[in-house]
Amino acid sequence: MRIEHLAEFVDLARTLSYTQTAQNMLVSESALSRHIRGLEDELGVVLFERISRRVRLSSHGQLLLEYAEPMRQSWSAYRTELSRVKSRGRAAVTIATNYYVADVIAEFLAAHPDVAVRQVSQGEPNEVVLDMLAARSASWRSSSTPASSTHTSNRP
């Protein structure tokens, strides 16, 4: 069972319209019909009573709806939390340099796969690199001239 098909089932149980649910879920009516039939086949029960061009939730469909809605909500909450955790858990470092440091970055990334590294200003004049560090738009700098005390940072 796919969670998307369960979400389609929940929507169809609310709208009782294949046309409306297909539009809501951005699928074709024929695909929606296949998904609902697949759920019915997998569960071995009829979820909707089909009477001419109308549908009505069966007793088995009502029972599934009681469980499907909380499952769909839990899945949605999980996906939201997972995205939040993944974005929070990945540190970011911006490197401002006028040197080619790809080898150093590659070595760093091999040791720290959870860190995103963005290199900017390769080949920029030293003043630009130092200004980026002073403005805190870079986490680390490398240039051919020493940084003055106004441009250095001992941030962790």
Q: What is the pLDDT of residues 4-49, one digit of tens each?
A: 999 999 999 999 999 999 999 999 999 999 999 999 999 999 999 9
Name the β-bridge partners of 48. Answer: 57
The pLDDT value recorded for residue 60 is 97
Helix, strand, coil distribution of the chain in percent, nearest 5: 55, 15, 30
CATH 1.10.10.10 describes domain 3-87: yes
More confident residue, 47 or 81: 47
Among 27-31, 54-58, 130-134, name the one with the lowest average pLDDT: 130-134
Comparing 68-72, 104-108, 149-153, the range with the smallest average pLDDT is 149-153
Separation between Cα atoms, residue 68 and residue 82, nearest integer Å? 21
Residues 6+ apart with CB under 8 A from 94: 117, 118, 119, 120, 137, 138, 139, 140
- HSE, side-chain direction, 13 A CA sphere, residue 27: 19
Structural domain spans, the chain: 3-87, 91-142
Asked if 34 and 26 touch (Cβ cutoff 8 Å), the reply is no
Which pLDDT does position 63 carry in this prediction? Answer: 96
